[in-house]
Structure formats: structure tokens, C-alpha cells
Amino acid sequence: MSILPISKAPQPDEAEFNAFFPSKFSLSQFTSAKSDLEGADYPQPYTGTGRILVIGTDERYLKMENGTLFSTGNHPVETLVPMYHLHKAGFEFDIATVSGNPVKFEFWAMPTDDEAITGLHQAYLEQFQKPLKLSDVVGALGPDSDYVAVFVPGGHGPLAGLPFSDEVGAVLRWALDQDRHIISICHGPAALLACTPAVDGAAFPLPGTRSPPSPTHPTA
């Protein structure tokens, strides 16, 4: 057992120049091999045909103010714990990304000893790796679309692309116009920036709330 302090230096991501994972110290403090999943018991689950659209991030790197790249994606717990609850409550999912490329995860935060969460990830692995292209989803949306909700998971990855996407804005505006639910967590609500005049030219669609500032490409 080492008596040296755990390093607080970011760990290099050798897959990209000037890119880094969180430090060993950060991982020891802010990740866990088990999630905090509890209370996922729904004695009368939903039995209808409505589905939930999950908008994942296809962005791996987030540029920092000092020019380095943070190796990121969707946070596994902030993606899979809500999905687990929704799945146990009777809902199934379609998974999409802006480009149709695979969903990126912050796998350094995966609760590897949590069989419920890793099992759900495996169950939807094909969809995570071969998601729908969001523009194709947008093209098929209408009043009779069977999505009852849109879920935008957390993690830092959503900051890099979703706020600048016309397709994300179109899906969220559709959900609001059709009185569908929008579910999001942590950094996921950054996707609402896609519904600002600077992105899609229309007014912010949530009356009674303060319109967020127009997005600029993230550097922090």
C-alpha cells in the first residue's frame, strides 16, 4: 500500500494530443464502483406504446480555456440511473445523436460493480453504438409521434455540441409544442440553448423563465 498522496494531476488521454482524463484524486473522490440507485420499484408500470427519445452526445472532447481538451462524454450514472428507473417504470427507448455516431461515455465514471447499471448499458449497447441520426428523427416527428418524453442525460459532453444543434432545438420545440415531457440532469439542460434566437432564430420557448444567454463555443 502506497503512503504517497494520490496524484491531483490530470491523466493524459493518449488517444488525442493535449487531452486529459480527471486526476486519480478526483476519481477517488467523485466516482464510485456502485451507484446510488434505489427505489426503482414500480408495481404498476406503464403498459402503453409510448417511447422515450434519449439524445446522447457524440462529442468526446471539451476544450478548456487553457487550450487543453477534457476527455468527456455522457456521465454513465447520469445517463443509466434515470434510464433504469424509466425502464423499470415500463418505458423503452430510442437513442439518437446529432451525427448518428456512437454515444460517448465518461467510462472513467462507470460504476463497474453495479450489475443493474452495467446490465442496462449492455442491454442497450447496440443502440448506444449505432444510434439514430437526430435529423432523421426530426424528419419523422409530428403530432402522432409516439415519443412521450425526451431525455437529455448529463455529463460534460453535452456542453460541446448539443447547444449548437438545430436538430436538438427542433426536437425540444416539438416536445414543448406537443405537450411531451423533457427530462434532463446536471449539464444536460445546456441543450436548451439550442432553443435560443442565436441558434434557431426563434424566441426562447419557456415563458416565465429567464432566457439563457446565447451560446458561444465552450472553452471551459
148 torsion bin: left (phi>0), alpha (psi -120 to 50), beta (else): alpha
Catalogue the active-site residues: 186
Residues 6+ apart with CB under 8 A from 157: 57, 59, 60, 62, 72, 73, 74, 104, 106
Total residues belonging to the chain:
220
With H, G, I as helix, E, B as strand and everything else as coil, classify residue 81.
Answer: helix
Per the rule left: phi > 0, alpha: psi between -120 and 50, beta: everything else, 21 is beta
